[in-house]
A and B are shown apart, each in its own frame.
Chain A
Amino acid sequence: MRAPSENLLQTSGRTDLVLIADLIEPGSRVLDVGCGDGTLLQMLTNIKDVDARGVELSQTGVNACVARGLSVVQGDADADLPAYPDQAFDYVILSQTIQATRKPKSVLDELLRIGRRVIVSFPNFGYWKVRLHLMMSGRMPMTDLLDQPWYETPNIHLCTIRDFVTMCEGMNVKIENAYARRGNRIKMRFSKPGMLANLISDEAIFILSRPD
């Protein structure tokens, strides 16, 4: 496993973003879909000198990004991606967002059309604590990553790591790399996540592309 750069770790407490940032080649063109307040984009601009763009659903988030000098537009992953041209970016990032989209498959299709590589991270619903929570309490699981009750959460399409791998196979999407995480510790890197990763990690990060 490649260790995230020291300087990256120092700039942010969010190790998931640090791991994603570490995967990006310096100087590349990056689109962050669901970029929030622009933490990752800022990190990439400062450290990797990338041409960074963002799309964010919340107007408050967008305005905050623009005020800090980032190129961000208000938009919706489900609706606004078709406007972008083919292969316009080296990387398209969808961090902790795919589970909140209406049509995850079409979103992923669009991302793979727009970017040469797509980085997707999502909370793993196969994590043992999630399973245990549901089995023991009989109620919708809540964890660090899934921290809102069922009636508040924007997450409408939760999945497990195995579910995601199965979808990728069905869509003829190449999994270039995958990382499974638990808490703030990066757990493991694997080429094809199996049963164990699905059980012990609360978050997954996939690097995807279309086969040549």
Chain B
Amino acid sequence: MTDQNPAHRAAAIPAEEAVKLQPVAQFGNHTPLRLDSGAELASIRIAYQTYGTLNDDKSNVVLVCHALTGDQFVASRHPITGKPGWWETMVGPGRPVDTNRFYVICTNIIGGCMGTTGPMDTNPATGKPYGLKFPVITVADMVRAQAKLLDQLGIEDLFCVLGGSLGGMQVLRWAASYPERVFSAIPIATATRHSSQNIAFHEVGRQAIMADRDWHGGDYQSHATRPRKGLAVARMAAHITYLSGQALHRKFGRNLQDRDALTFGFEADFQIESYLRHQGFTFVDRFDANSYLYITRAMDYFDLDADYDGIIANAFKGTKTRFCVVSFTSDWLFPTSEARHIVQALNAVAANVSFVEIESDKGHDAFLLDEPEMFSTLAGFINSAAVHRGLAKAE
């Protein structure tokens, strides 16, 4: 496999250059993206990464959908942080999504901030950054944009579409909107609708951003500043929801940070405080606050049940897609009951479905971590689907 993607060799290239160097698909005014809100996005860009080699009949395409704060760098070095791809344990040579066999595409979602059109970009109508003038986008809009990219690449259908959390919502939307284009689907740690509790957490994050004076009603780019504190707090609050109480206790307990005694002040006495502050402050270097508002909103608006008149099974009626639904025992953000809801809907249409619940104390984030049972079950599912698809068997 030859790697012709300059962003993969990004180490020596300045971050912003590397982001610009990645593959980007342009869509002009003649093919606007029609949004659920009724608005249209005229000219859009979709930044994406690919791994592996497309086979002759284009039957080995895997689409990876990223989560809220993820991006297209699923299995290659991140151009800004310099860290390895966010899912290199799942995607790569010899991994469950084996790039020696499959052609993997990961796009930055619409509304994102890593090269795809989002609120940071220039609004063609005003010549200024969109800010809050950017239309509200939905999960279905993200999926529509991905479908446009596939059309442009001449890829008719996907061997597999997979993703966790918001990525899993996109997977479900793909399977519902384009059943004939999805051979197999792996929604992980996700739900058919965002729960009241989850909307509540998102609202806390958004309010933290908006309360930052540097947010300027979303127009911070014109003021040459960024709501760093607000976004950091949003990230800190959200990060707690990605972990389990048990995992936090195991990792940090009540351990003190670089000190032997309490300081009787508001420094980060505890390791957990120091850890969260670090999570918050490093996050703002790679993420845009307005993107955070828009993408959390898209998750809040996600309600596949409502889209099908409250009968979620109708979303999958007649589907031939092979599904593997995955949940984690300690995930309280997208608990196993949500996965069961998906499975029941698929059973109601006698769909081909597997469902695994993985025993883990790592909470929602488990899907991004080293979970051997997730890898072995998904490798089994993907292999079996590949055999049914007529793709060569891995030994």
Query: Interface residues, chain A, CB within 8 Å of chain B?
Result: 29, 51, 53, 59, 62-63, 65-75, 80, 83-85, 88-89
A41 shortest CB reach to chain B, Å: 11
B99 shortest CB reach to chain A, Å: 20
Q: How far is the CA of A4 from the CA of B380 in the complex (A)?
A: 30
Q: Is the CB of B344 within 8 A of A72?
A: no
Q: Is B353 an interface residue (CB 8 A)?
A: yes
Stretch at the interface among B32-40, B199-207, B266-274, B354-362: B354-362
Q: Is the CB of B380 within 8 A of A84?
A: no
Q: Is the CB of B380 within 8 A of A67?
A: yes
Contact residues in A for B355 (Cβ distance below 8 Å)? 62, 72-75
Q: Is the CB of A71 within 8 A of B322?
A: yes
Contact residues in B for A29 (Cβ distance below 8 Å)? 350
B340 shortest CB reach to chain A, Å: 8
Query: Interface residues, chain B, CB within 8 Å of chain A?
Result: 322, 324-325, 343-344, 347-350, 352-359, 373, 376-377, 379-381, 383-384, 387
Q: Is the CB of A59 within 8 A of B357?
A: yes
Q: How far is the CA of A96 from the CA of B353 in the complex (A)?
A: 23
Q: Is the CB of A69 within 8 A of B383?
A: yes
Q: How far is the CA of A59 from the CA of B387 in the complex (A)?
A: 25
Q: Is the CB of B350 within 8 A of A85?
A: yes
B72 shortest CB reach to chain A, Å: 28
For A81, give the chain B residue with the smallest CB separation.
B347
Q: Is the CB of A51 within 8 A of B352?
A: yes
Contact residues in A for B357 (Cβ distance below 8 Å)? 59, 62, 74
For B376, give the chain A residue with the smallest CB separation.
A67
Q: Is the CB of B384 within 8 A of A88?
A: no
Q: Is the CB of B344 within 8 A of A83?
A: yes
Q: Which 10 A-B pairs have the closest CB atoms?
A: A69-B384, A88-B350, A67-B380, A73-B355, A83-B347, A66-B377, A83-B344, A66-B354, A67-B376, A69-B380
A86 shortest CB reach to chain B, Å: 10
Q: Is the CB of A62 within 8 A of B348?
A: no
Contact residues in B for A80 (Cβ distance below 8 Å)? 344, 347
